[in-house]
């Protein structure tokens, strides 16, 4: 069986993180599936989804260290073509991924005690991000 759902988050620009765990868990529960997988997908090429211990230190560490790997305001080829200031945003999102897949067992997300599903806004401005959740299982 396959169950699709979607919700929208409002971000506050580059480096903003949102905990998606509760919303995703509700969708898994609503799907009625007991065992399988859930995929969480950010619609757009400058946002990322993954798992992390969602705590204030890591909420700062992740975007800060991504900016060291792909710093803003660099002479990226994307900037030369589009001049929109977000060449680094595309690279950060690609490096992390625009989706995350988690096992589902007994109708619950199979996450560690300190593991949550997050969205990271990599773009330079606030966005309304559609988050698509697909539950596949039985």
Q: What is the DSSP string of 61-123?
A: HHHHHHHHHS-TT---HHHHHH-SS-HHHHHHHHHH-SEEEEEEETTEE---TT-EEEEEE-S
Average pLDDT for runs of 10 along the chain of length 138: 98 98 98 98 98 97 97 84 90 98 98 97 97 98
Residue ranges and CATH numbers for the domains of the chain are 2-105+113-137 (2.60.120.460)
pTM above 0.85, yes or no: yes
CA–CA separation, 126 and 87 (whole Å): 16
Longest pairwise C-alpha distance within the chain: 50
């Amino acid at each position: 069986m396959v169950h699709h759902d979607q919700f929208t988050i409002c971000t506050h620009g580059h480096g903003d993180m949102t905990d998606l765990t509760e919303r995703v868990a509700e969708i898994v529960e609503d799907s009625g599936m007991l065992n399988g997988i859930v995929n969480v997908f950010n619609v757009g090429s400058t946002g990322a989804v993954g798992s992390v211990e969602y705590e204030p230190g890591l909420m700062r560490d992740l975007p800060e260290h991504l900016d060291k790997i792909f710093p803003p305001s660099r002479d990226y080829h994307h900037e030369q073509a589009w001049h929109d200031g977000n060449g680094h945003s595309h690279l950060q999102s690609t490096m992390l991924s625009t989706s995350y897949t988690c096992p589902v067992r007994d109708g619950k997300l199979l996450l560690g005690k300190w593991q949550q599903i997050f969205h990271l806004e990599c773009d330079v401005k606030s966005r309304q991000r559609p988050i698509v959740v697909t539950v596949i299982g039985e």
